[in-house]
Amino acid sequence: MNPPIVKLIEKFQSSAAAVGFEVETFGRVAGWPLIALSRKSTTAKAQNIYLSSGIHGDEPAGPLALLQLLQDDALPRRHNYWICPVLNPSGLEARIRENAHGLDLNRDYRDFNSEEVRSHAAWAQQHIPCLNMAFHLHEDWESNGFYLYELNFSQQTSHADTVLQAVSQHLPIETAAEIDGSPASGGLIRPETLPEIEEGHPEAIYFQQQFGGLNYTLETPSALPIGQRVAAHKAALIAVLQ
């Protein structure tokens, strides 16, 4: 194992436990623990929130942002949380997009070929009820600015403008009119129906299908400094969750 990734997982475990999260290992892949963090609120009408990061090993800003939020006890306690912060530890170790077997985990939520995704999906089905919001933290090596996908098929109040305003204090917003083949406007991609992706379903589509709610995929531009990218992810989450 790569000691920095071991320490990252250990920091998640200790930091989460220190602020009242239950820490669970829902699977192991080649010795790597797959961890989930959960915390229930005592507030009436608490919203159900899911957060994930680290599904692509060359996208470190998401895990670092979630770790800092936990260390600072910055996630508002009026919500219920389920967090999977290091979904691809072997990829993070090698600093590659795929896992150690060359599989893109974020295209495996239809066929479930990887142990990581099978274990994750089984855990989610057992533990997560319907969701109000899900956030998947990502990065894009080809982007010049921040952008996000919003899956919103029940006419719920959008939080996209809140995210973009918060992020704009740290990063430029992507201006392209098309991103990865999808029409975009002001850094926002909002499909009218669930996209059909030939190579397989990403985590966001699976969670939308299974648990509903508003579903956001946040993409920071990998070419910009890591500190800015981490700050942008943190700002986006806090702006919405507060």
pLDDT for residue 225 is more than 90 = yes
Domain 3-241 CATH assignment equals 3.40.630.10: yes
Residues 130-154: pLDDT tens digits? 999 999 999 999 999 999 999 999 8
- Report the pLDDT value the prediction gives residue 232, as an integer from 0 to 100: 98
- Report the pLDDT value the prediction gives residue 194, as an integer from 0 to 100: 87
45's CB contacts (< 8 A; 6+ apart) are: none
pLDDT for residue 2 is more than 60 = no
Report CA Rg, the chain. 16
Provide φ and ψ at 76, rounded to 5°: -55, 135
Work out the burial of residue 58: count CB atoms within 10 Å of its CB; fewer than 13 is exposed, 13-18 middle, 19 or more buried. Answer: middle
Work out the burial of residue 36: count CB atoms within 10 Å of its CB; fewer than 13 is exposed, 13-18 middle, 19 or more buried. Answer: buried
Share of the chain above pLDDT 70, in %: 99
DSSP 8-state class, residue 107: G
Residues 151-181: pLDDT tens digits? 999 889 999 999 999 999 999 999 999 998 8
pTM of the model: 0.97
Residues 54-107: pLDDT tens digits? 999 999 999 999 999 999 999 999 999 999 999 999 999 999 999 999 999 999
